[in-house]
Protein backbone atom coordinates (compact mmCIF):
# COMPACT_ATOMS: atom_id res chain seq x y z
CA UNK A 1 0.00 0.00 0.00
CA UNK A 2 1.34 3.45 -0.85
CA UNK A 3 -0.09 6.93 -1.29
CA UNK A 4 1.71 9.82 -2.95
CA UNK A 5 1.27 13.42 -1.94
CA UNK A 6 2.37 15.60 -4.85
CA UNK A 7 3.49 19.05 -3.68
CA UNK A 8 5.22 19.81 -0.39
CA UNK A 9 3.64 23.23 0.21
CA UNK A 10 1.00 24.16 2.74
CA UNK A 11 -1.81 21.88 1.58
CA UNK A 12 0.61 19.09 0.72
CA UNK A 13 2.02 19.17 4.23
CA UNK A 14 -1.46 19.14 5.73
CA UNK A 15 -2.62 16.18 3.62
CA UNK A 16 0.64 14.29 4.11
CA UNK A 17 0.44 14.60 7.90
CA UNK A 18 -3.22 13.59 7.97
CA UNK A 19 -2.90 10.53 5.78
CA UNK A 20 0.18 9.46 7.74
CA UNK A 21 -2.02 9.32 10.83
CA UNK A 22 -4.38 6.98 8.98
CA UNK A 23 -2.07 4.74 6.91
CA UNK A 24 1.37 5.09 8.55
CA UNK A 25 4.55 6.81 7.42
CA UNK A 26 5.88 3.74 5.60
CA UNK A 27 2.97 4.04 3.18
CA UNK A 28 3.26 7.74 2.39
CA UNK A 29 5.50 9.20 -0.33
CA UNK A 30 6.19 12.87 -1.03
CA UNK A 31 6.63 13.92 -4.64
CA UNK A 32 8.11 17.41 -4.91
CA UNK A 33 10.32 19.12 -7.46
CA UNK A 34 12.18 21.38 -5.01
CA UNK A 35 15.24 19.61 -3.65
CA UNK A 36 15.28 21.66 -0.40
CA UNK A 37 11.72 20.64 0.43
CA UNK A 38 12.45 16.98 -0.37
CA UNK A 39 15.46 17.23 1.94
CA UNK A 40 13.34 18.37 4.90
CA UNK A 41 10.78 15.59 4.43
CA UNK A 42 13.45 12.99 3.87
CA UNK A 43 14.95 13.92 7.21
CA UNK A 44 11.54 13.40 8.74
CA UNK A 45 11.68 9.82 7.49
CA UNK A 46 9.55 10.06 4.34
CA UNK A 47 10.36 8.50 1.00
CA UNK A 48 10.66 11.41 -1.45
CA UNK A 49 10.79 11.63 -5.22
CA UNK A 50 11.07 14.41 -7.79
CA UNK A 51 8.39 12.94 -10.06
CA UNK A 52 5.61 10.33 -10.20
CA UNK A 53 7.27 8.22 -12.91
CA UNK A 54 10.26 7.69 -10.61
CA UNK A 55 7.87 6.44 -7.90
CA UNK A 56 6.37 3.86 -10.26
CA UNK A 57 9.81 2.73 -11.46
CA UNK A 58 11.17 2.28 -7.94
CA UNK A 59 8.15 1.28 -5.88
CA UNK A 60 5.42 0.35 -8.31
CA UNK A 61 2.06 1.96 -8.87
CA UNK A 62 0.70 3.87 -5.85
CA UNK A 63 -2.77 3.13 -4.53
CA UNK A 64 -3.76 6.78 -4.77
CA UNK A 65 -2.26 10.20 -5.34
CA UNK A 66 -3.10 13.51 -3.71
CA UNK A 67 -2.38 16.50 -5.94
CA UNK A 68 -1.58 19.56 -3.84
CA UNK A 69 0.61 21.55 -6.21
CA UNK A 70 -0.01 25.07 -7.54
CA UNK A 71 -3.13 24.94 -9.74
CA UNK A 72 -1.17 25.23 -12.99
CA UNK A 73 0.12 21.66 -12.52
CA UNK A 74 -3.25 20.06 -11.64
CA UNK A 75 -4.25 19.13 -15.20
CA UNK A 76 -0.98 17.42 -16.14
CA UNK A 77 -0.86 15.46 -12.89
CA UNK A 78 -4.51 14.46 -13.17
CA UNK A 79 -3.84 13.24 -16.70
CA UNK A 80 -0.92 11.20 -15.40
CA UNK A 81 -3.20 9.59 -12.82
CA UNK A 82 -5.86 8.82 -15.43
CA UNK A 83 -3.33 7.39 -17.91
CA UNK A 84 -1.86 5.21 -15.17
CA UNK A 85 -5.26 4.21 -13.76
CA UNK A 86 -4.45 5.56 -10.30
CA UNK A 87 -7.25 7.07 -8.13
CA UNK A 88 -6.56 10.74 -7.42
CA UNK A 89 -7.55 13.57 -5.15
CA UNK A 90 -6.97 16.99 -6.64
CA UNK A 91 -7.03 20.25 -4.72
CA UNK A 92 -9.33 23.07 -5.72
CA UNK A 93 -9.65 24.66 -8.23
CA UNK A 94 -9.45 21.74 -10.64
CA UNK A 95 -7.70 23.75 -13.37
CA UNK A 96 -7.55 27.36 -14.58
CA UNK A 97 -9.26 26.44 -17.86
CA UNK A 98 -12.83 25.13 -17.85
CA UNK A 99 -12.38 23.32 -21.17
CA UNK A 100 -9.37 21.47 -19.84
CA UNK A 101 -11.42 20.54 -16.75
CA UNK A 102 -14.22 19.22 -18.97
CA UNK A 103 -11.67 17.12 -20.82
CA UNK A 104 -10.36 15.70 -17.54
CA UNK A 105 -13.88 14.72 -16.53
CA UNK A 106 -14.36 12.86 -19.84
CA UNK A 107 -10.97 11.14 -19.67
CA UNK A 108 -11.50 9.99 -16.07
CA UNK A 109 -14.97 8.65 -16.90
CA UNK A 110 -13.72 6.81 -19.99
CA UNK A 111 -10.86 5.27 -18.03
CA UNK A 112 -13.06 4.52 -15.00
CA UNK A 113 -10.62 6.23 -12.62
CA UNK A 114 -11.88 7.37 -9.24
CA UNK A 115 -11.33 11.07 -8.58
CA UNK A 116 -12.18 13.49 -5.79
CA UNK A 117 -11.76 17.27 -5.66
CA UNK A 118 -10.73 19.26 -2.61
CA UNK A 119 -13.91 21.19 -1.85
CA UNK A 120 -13.46 20.83 1.87
CA UNK A 121 -16.20 23.22 3.03
CA UNK A 122 -18.85 20.61 2.13
CA UNK A 123 -17.69 18.63 5.13
CA UNK A 124 -18.42 21.41 7.63
CA UNK A 125 -21.35 20.31 9.81
CA UNK A 126 -23.12 23.69 9.85
CA UNK A 127 -23.27 23.93 6.05
CA UNK A 128 -24.50 20.36 5.83
CA UNK A 129 -27.20 21.37 8.29
CA UNK A 130 -28.40 24.21 6.03
CA UNK A 131 -28.55 21.76 3.13
CA UNK A 132 -30.62 19.40 5.24
CA UNK A 133 -32.96 22.24 6.26
CA UNK A 134 -33.66 22.98 2.58
CA UNK A 135 -34.18 19.31 1.76
CA UNK A 136 -36.36 18.82 4.84
CA UNK A 137 -38.77 21.54 3.69
CA UNK A 138 -40.14 22.34 7.13
CA UNK A 139 -39.07 25.99 6.89
CA UNK A 140 -41.16 26.40 3.74
CA UNK A 141 -40.10 27.75 0.38
CA UNK A 142 -36.58 29.19 0.09
CA UNK A 143 -36.81 32.70 -1.38
CA UNK A 144 -33.22 33.88 -1.74
CA UNK A 145 -29.87 33.96 0.03
CA UNK A 146 -26.73 36.00 0.53
CA UNK A 147 -23.36 34.32 0.91
CA UNK A 148 -19.93 35.74 1.62
CA UNK A 149 -16.41 34.53 2.09
CA UNK A 150 -14.11 37.04 3.74
CA UNK A 151 -10.61 36.75 5.11
CA UNK A 152 -7.33 38.54 5.56
CA UNK A 153 -5.08 36.78 3.04
CA UNK A 154 -4.19 40.03 1.28
CA UNK A 155 -3.07 42.66 3.79
CA UNK A 156 -0.16 44.18 1.84
CA UNK A 157 0.51 44.52 -1.88
CA UNK A 158 1.49 41.11 -3.29
CA UNK A 159 5.01 40.43 -4.48
CA UNK A 160 4.93 40.83 -8.30
CA UNK A 161 6.80 37.52 -8.67
CA UNK A 162 4.22 35.62 -6.66
CA UNK A 163 1.38 33.85 -8.45
CA UNK A 164 -1.06 34.84 -5.70
CA UNK A 165 -1.30 38.39 -7.01
CA UNK A 166 -1.76 37.39 -10.65
CA UNK A 167 -5.22 36.39 -11.87
CA UNK A 168 -3.86 34.69 -14.99
CA UNK A 169 -1.70 32.37 -12.90
CA UNK A 170 -4.52 31.42 -10.53
CA UNK A 171 -4.22 34.30 -8.06
CA UNK A 172 -6.82 36.78 -6.83
CA UNK A 173 -9.82 36.45 -4.57
CA UNK A 174 -12.04 34.76 -7.18
CA UNK A 175 -9.50 32.01 -7.85
CA UNK A 176 -8.44 31.64 -4.21
CA UNK A 177 -11.72 31.92 -2.29
CA UNK A 178 -14.14 31.45 -5.19
CA UNK A 179 -13.89 27.67 -5.51
CA UNK A 180 -14.79 27.19 -1.83
CA UNK A 181 -17.88 29.35 -1.74
CA UNK A 182 -19.01 28.60 -5.30
CA UNK A 183 -18.89 24.87 -4.69
CA UNK A 184 -20.54 25.29 -1.30
CA UNK A 185 -23.45 27.22 -2.83
CA UNK A 186 -23.88 24.53 -5.49
CA UNK A 187 -23.72 21.86 -2.79
CA UNK A 188 -26.38 23.57 -0.67
CA UNK A 189 -28.63 25.24 -3.25
CA UNK A 190 -28.10 23.12 -6.38
CA UNK A 191 -26.71 23.83 -9.85
CA UNK A 192 -26.42 27.40 -11.10
CA UNK A 193 -28.29 28.36 -14.27
CA UNK A 194 -26.93 31.83 -14.91
CA UNK A 195 -24.58 34.46 -13.50
CA UNK A 196 -26.67 37.61 -13.83
CA UNK A 197 -24.26 40.22 -12.51
CA UNK A 198 -20.58 40.33 -11.48
CA UNK A 199 -18.20 43.12 -10.51
CA UNK A 200 -14.63 43.09 -9.23
CA UNK A 201 -12.31 45.54 -7.51
CA UNK A 202 -8.61 45.88 -6.80
CA UNK A 203 -7.38 47.27 -3.49
CA UNK A 204 -3.82 46.04 -3.00
CA UNK A 205 -3.34 43.83 -6.04
CA UNK A 206 -2.58 45.27 -9.47
CA UNK A 207 -2.99 42.12 -11.56
CA UNK A 208 -5.80 40.40 -9.71
CA UNK A 209 -9.13 41.01 -8.03
CA UNK A 210 -9.21 41.67 -4.27
CA UNK A 211 -12.99 41.46 -4.17
CA UNK A 212 -15.78 40.15 -6.37
CA UNK A 213 -19.53 40.64 -5.91
CA UNK A 214 -22.02 38.70 -8.00
CA UNK A 215 -25.63 37.61 -8.38
CA UNK A 216 -26.78 34.34 -9.87
CA UNK A 217 -29.79 32.08 -10.24
CA UNK A 218 -30.02 28.37 -9.52
CA UNK A 219 -31.94 25.71 -11.46
CA UNK A 220 -34.47 25.80 -8.63
CA UNK A 221 -35.07 29.50 -9.51
CA UNK A 222 -33.63 30.56 -6.14
CA UNK A 223 -31.49 33.69 -6.47
CA UNK A 224 -28.28 34.23 -4.58
CA UNK A 225 -25.84 37.11 -4.04
CA UNK A 226 -22.18 36.39 -3.28
CA UNK A 227 -19.45 38.57 -1.84
CA UNK A 228 -15.87 37.35 -2.05
CA UNK A 229 -13.17 39.43 -0.34
CA UNK A 230 -9.71 38.29 0.67
CA UNK A 231 -8.51 41.59 2.15
CA UNK A 232 -10.87 42.06 5.10
CA UNK A 233 -8.62 42.92 8.03
CA UNK A 234 -11.47 42.60 10.52
CA UNK A 235 -11.28 38.83 10.06
CA UNK A 236 -8.80 36.72 11.98
CA UNK A 237 -9.18 33.91 9.47
CA UNK A 238 -11.40 33.25 6.50
CA UNK A 239 -15.09 32.96 7.33
CA UNK A 240 -18.00 31.91 5.16
CA UNK A 241 -21.42 33.29 6.07
CA UNK A 242 -24.74 32.47 4.45
CA UNK A 243 -28.08 34.11 5.20
CA UNK A 244 -31.02 32.31 3.69
CA UNK A 245 -34.58 33.64 3.65
CA UNK A 246 -37.19 30.91 3.91
CA UNK A 247 -40.95 31.27 3.94
CA UNK A 248 -41.06 30.68 7.72
CA UNK A 249 -37.63 31.70 8.95
CA UNK A 250 -34.38 33.47 8.31
CA UNK A 251 -31.33 31.22 8.76
CA UNK A 252 -27.77 32.48 9.30
CA UNK A 253 -24.97 29.97 8.98
CA UNK A 254 -21.22 30.28 9.28
CA UNK A 255 -18.36 27.81 9.71
CA UNK A 256 -19.37 27.05 13.29
CA UNK A 257 -22.95 28.11 13.99
CA UNK A 258 -26.51 27.85 12.66
CA UNK A 259 -29.04 30.43 13.85
CA UNK A 260 -32.71 30.14 12.95
CA UNK A 261 -35.02 33.12 13.50
CA UNK A 262 -38.61 32.03 12.91
CA UNK A 263 -41.02 34.53 11.41
CA UNK A 264 -43.89 35.63 13.67
CA UNK A 265 -46.53 33.76 11.69
CA UNK A 266 -44.51 30.56 11.10
CA UNK A 267 -46.93 27.61 11.36
CA UNK A 268 -44.53 25.53 13.43
CA UNK A 269 -45.19 24.32 16.96
CA UNK A 270 -42.66 24.63 19.78
CA UNK A 271 -41.56 21.03 19.44
CA UNK A 272 -40.80 21.41 15.73
CA UNK A 273 -38.92 24.64 16.37
CA UNK A 274 -36.81 23.02 19.08
CA UNK A 275 -36.19 20.07 16.79
CA UNK A 276 -35.02 22.36 13.98
CA UNK A 277 -32.91 24.43 16.33
CA UNK A 278 -30.59 21.71 17.59
CA UNK A 279 -26.96 22.69 17.33
CA UNK A 280 -24.81 21.25 14.55
CA UNK A 281 -21.89 19.68 16.37
CA UNK A 282 -19.00 18.56 14.18
CA UNK A 283 -18.64 14.78 13.82
CA UNK A 284 -15.85 12.75 15.41
CA UNK A 285 -12.87 11.89 13.24
CA UNK A 286 -10.15 9.26 13.38
CA UNK A 287 -7.44 11.90 13.66
CA UNK A 288 -7.97 15.64 14.01
CA UNK A 289 -5.47 18.06 12.54
CA UNK A 290 -6.88 21.35 11.27
CA UNK A 291 -10.61 20.86 11.45
CA UNK A 292 -12.93 17.89 11.10
CA UNK A 293 -13.54 18.76 7.46
CA UNK A 294 -9.93 18.11 6.46
CA UNK A 295 -9.95 14.73 8.20
CA UNK A 296 -13.30 13.77 6.68
CA UNK A 297 -12.26 14.52 3.10
CA UNK A 298 -9.13 12.40 3.53
CA UNK A 299 -11.14 9.62 5.23
CA UNK A 300 -13.40 9.71 2.16
CA UNK A 301 -10.55 9.50 -0.34
CA UNK A 302 -8.43 6.91 1.45
CA UNK A 303 -11.54 4.83 2.16
CA UNK A 304 -12.52 4.88 -1.53
CA UNK A 305 -9.00 3.81 -2.54
CA UNK A 306 -8.82 1.05 0.06
CA UNK A 307 -12.37 -0.16 -0.46
CA UNK A 308 -13.34 0.18 3.21
CA UNK A 309 -14.72 3.03 5.27
CA UNK A 310 -12.30 4.94 7.46
CA UNK A 311 -15.03 7.06 9.00
CA UNK A 312 -15.58 6.52 12.67
CA UNK A 313 -18.73 8.63 13.04
CA UNK A 314 -21.80 6.57 12.09
CA UNK A 315 -24.02 9.60 11.45
CA UNK A 316 -22.35 11.25 8.46
CA UNK A 317 -24.67 12.44 5.68
CA UNK A 318 -24.60 10.79 2.26
CA UNK A 319 -23.70 12.35 -1.07
CA UNK A 320 -21.09 14.79 0.19
CA UNK A 321 -17.91 13.64 -1.60
CA UNK A 322 -17.03 16.18 -4.32
CA UNK A 323 -16.37 14.64 -7.73
CA UNK A 324 -14.40 15.76 -10.77
CA UNK A 325 -17.72 16.95 -12.29
CA UNK A 326 -18.05 19.35 -9.37
CA UNK A 327 -14.53 20.58 -10.07
CA UNK A 328 -15.44 21.27 -13.69
CA UNK A 329 -18.75 22.96 -12.78
CA UNK A 330 -16.92 25.33 -10.42
CA UNK A 331 -14.21 26.13 -13.00
CA UNK A 332 -16.92 26.91 -15.54
CA UNK A 333 -18.66 29.24 -13.08
CA UNK A 334 -15.38 31.00 -12.25
CA UNK A 335 -14.92 31.50 -15.99
CA UNK A 336 -18.48 32.85 -16.35
CA UNK A 337 -18.01 35.21 -13.39
CA UNK A 338 -14.61 36.42 -14.61
CA UNK A 339 -16.02 37.19 -18.06
CA UNK A 340 -19.09 38.90 -16.66
CA UNK A 341 -16.97 41.01 -14.32
CA UNK A 342 -14.40 41.89 -16.99
CA UNK A 343 -11.50 39.96 -15.50
CA UNK A 344 -11.19 37.98 -18.74
Task: Give me the residues that bind another protein (CB under 8 A), please.
Answer: 8-10, 13, 16-18, 20-21, 25, 34, 36-37, 39-40, 43-46, 153, 159, 162, 164, 234-237, 239, 241, 254-257, 278-279, 281-282, 284-290, 292, 312
**By C-alpha distance, which of 269, 264, 280, 262 is closest to 316?**
280
Q: Which is nearer to another protein, 140 or 303 (CB)?
A: 303
Q: Pairing between strand 115-117 and 47-49?
A: unpaired
Q: Give least dist CB 261 to another protein, A.
A: 13
Residues 6+ apart with CB under 8 A from 102: 328, 332
Q: Which is nearer to another protein, 112 or 234 (CB)?
A: 234
Q: Give least dist CB 33 to another protein, A.
A: 11
Q: Which is nearer to another protein, 17 or 73 (CB)?
A: 17
Q: Give least dist CB 36 to another protein, A.
A: 5
Q: Give least dist CB 268 to another protein, A.
A: 18
Distance of CA 63 to the CA centre of its chain: 22
Q: Give least dist CB 106 to another protein, A.
A: 32
Q: Which is nearer to another protein, 126 or 329 (CB)?
A: 126
Beta-carbon count within 10 A of 98 CB: 19
Q: Which is nearer to another protein, 56 or 306 (CB)?
A: 306
Q: Which is nearer to another protein, 265 or 308 (CB)?
A: 308
Q: Give least dist CB 216 to another protein, A.
A: 24
Amino acid sequence: MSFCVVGGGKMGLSHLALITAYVGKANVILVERKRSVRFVFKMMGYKTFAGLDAVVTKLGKPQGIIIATPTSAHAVLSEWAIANRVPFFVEKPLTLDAERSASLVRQAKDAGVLAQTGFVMRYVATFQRLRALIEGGRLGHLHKYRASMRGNVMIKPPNPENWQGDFKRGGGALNEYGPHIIDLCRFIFGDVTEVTHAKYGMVLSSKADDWVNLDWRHDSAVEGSLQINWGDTSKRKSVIEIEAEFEHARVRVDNSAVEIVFSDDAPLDAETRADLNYSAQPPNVGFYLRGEEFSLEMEDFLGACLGRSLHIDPNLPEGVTPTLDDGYAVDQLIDDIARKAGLK
